[in-house]
Chains A and B, each alone.
Chain A
Amino acid sequence: MAGNREFYYRRLHSLLGVIPVGIFLVQHLIVNHFATRGPEAFNRAAAFMENLPFRIFLEIFVILLPLVFHAVYGIYIAFTAKFNTRQYGYFRNWMFMLQRITGIITLIFVVWHVYETRVQAAFGAEVNYDMMANIVDNPIMLWFYIVGILSTVFHFANGLWSFFVSWGLIVSPRSQQVFTYITMIIFFAISIIGIRAILAFA
């Protein structure tokens, strides 16, 4: 038993996906939604987030480290599965496969997005409405962002379901089914927020 941390890593992976990474995602998309009220509203909101006290510590401990652990361990999980939806076309099996595929898409998207925004900011670029507007001015990038946002939100919503199962919070088949509906509503609601926000920059 000693030396095998798989159980704890797996539980930590599940927890970090919701707290703090999932909560950060929702917060991020809601702040972005200020863009629908015009460039000034977005710039004011972005400036507020940028000027939060202890920002660098918040970024490292609330975003970067949890996200890196979740991503690295997630790659391991995704590549130990052997998809079989062709033989077993059940709903949950599809969700199992989509969870892993969207995880990989999300990772690619997030790495690119962080490079384009936070890393550029570290080199002196200013994060504001114009920065995003310039990025999504290219229709290919706009589509890349739309796919990335949908994939991220799906991974979060369905991951929320698995979080509740993995921690033993929903046990009965009925509760698991009801929670499937609830998480899909969450997927649609947050997707609308995210897509409205990105289109506000286009």
Chain B
Amino acid sequence: MSENKTVRFIITRQDRPDSAPYEEEFVIPYRPNMNVISALMEIRRNPVNAKGEKTTPVVWEMNCLEEVCGACSMVINGKPRQACAALIDQLEQPIRLEPMRTFPVIRDLAIDRSRMFDALKRVKAWIPIDGTYDLGPGPRMPERKRQWAYELSKCMTCGVCLEACPNVNSKSNFIGPAPLSQVRLFNAHPTGAMHKAERLRTIMGDGGLANCGNSQNCVQSCPKGIPLTTSIAALNRDTTIQMFRDFFGSDEV
């Protein structure tokens, strides 16, 4: 019995960044403990669609295969998630795979997440420790705070929160929840806090924090369970204080 079991896929494909998408169906033999990645590898091994026609192998991105790199994000049965963590046994068939269209599609399921990395650069999502001389050890971070910050640091720039957000779309230039939460992470670090005002002023600018409409889809969708909406609300408070400080405060930097 089990050797005849199959898995059915309907995959949204696109040959070039500017060409029209189309659907293609695949039926592949079932193996125990399959995930979407191993199924895509099976299609790559034998690129024949459900009609028995030979086709091009489906293109997708992958790297770590353990849900920490964020590369294999795609829309699986209507929900954006990592293909490596999507087990075939837990999915309703036919399994529908689509690219995350919030991002530019390169080919098939492969998308270009550059905008997220650009946003991380814009908000300076790092701790500046390099100088022309040894800056010495920084201030210590309390252990309890380190454990809390670790949760925020789990962000893998996978793009799922941007895909789920109704305000990240072609009509707006919102940078999305992920880079905002990184602002809170790096502002919380004792050394990173030295650039706190700079980061806050950046997200008070173009495409920044104010674009959040509190639909809270991001926190529901984040595969790493990062408290994104708590980060956004905390940044709302920080920017409120920054705004008053900039307007009414002294000239102290």
Partner of A87, one of B78, B171, B243: B78
Interface string of B179-222 (1 = CB under 8 A from A): 00000000000000000000001101110111101111100110
Q: Does A44 sit at the interface, judged by CB under 8 A?
A: no
Report the count of interface residues on A (CB-CB < 8 A): 35
Partner of A84, one of B164, B227, B229, B237: B164
Residue on B nearest A87 in the bound complex, by CB: B78
In angstroms, Cα B232 to Cα A172, docked, is: 10
Partner of A168, one of B164, B215, B229, B239: B239
Partner of A11, one of B78, B210, B214: B210
A residues in contact with B169, CB < 8 Å: 80-82
Q: Does B230 sit at the interface, judged by CB under 8 A?
A: yes
Q: Does A10 sit at the interface, judged by CB under 8 A?
A: yes
Q: Evaluate contact between A96 and B166: CB separation under 8 angstroms.
A: yes
Q: Does B127 sit at the interface, judged by CB under 8 A?
A: no
A residues in contact with B78, CB < 8 Å: 87
In angstroms, Cα B236 to Cα A172, docked, is: 12
Q: Does B172 sit at the interface, judged by CB under 8 A?
A: yes
B residues in contact with A9, CB < 8 Å: 210
In angstroms, Cα B218 to Cα A96, docked, is: 13
A residues in contact with B240, CB < 8 Å: 11, 167-168
Residue on B nearest A167 in the bound complex, by CB: B240
Q: Evaluate contact between A93 and B205: CB separation under 8 angstroms.
A: no
Q: How far is the CB of A87 from chain B (nearest CB, A)?
A: 5
Q: Evaluate contact between B220 and A170: CB separation under 8 angstroms.
A: no
> Which secondary structure dominates chain A's binding surface?
helix
Q: Does B79 sit at the interface, judged by CB under 8 A?
A: yes
Q: Does B233 sit at the interface, judged by CB under 8 A?
A: yes
Q: Known: A4-B205, A6-B210, A10-B210. Is A93-B217 also a contact (CB below 8 A)?
A: yes
Q: Does B61 sit at the interface, judged by CB under 8 A?
A: no
Q: Evaluate contact between A81 and B214: CB separation under 8 angstroms.
A: no
Partner of B237, one of A10, A82, A171: A171
Interface string of A162-200 (1 = CB under 8 A from B): 100111111111001000000000000000000000000
In angstroms, Cα B233 to Cα A92, docked, is: 14
A residues in contact with B230, CB < 8 Å: 171-173
Question: What 12 additional pairs, Cβ within 8 angstroms, besides A6-B208, A7-B239, A80-B171?
Answer: A4-B205, A7-B204, A11-B240, A87-B79, A88-B217, A93-B215, A96-B214, A97-B166, A168-B238, A168-B239, A170-B233, A173-B230
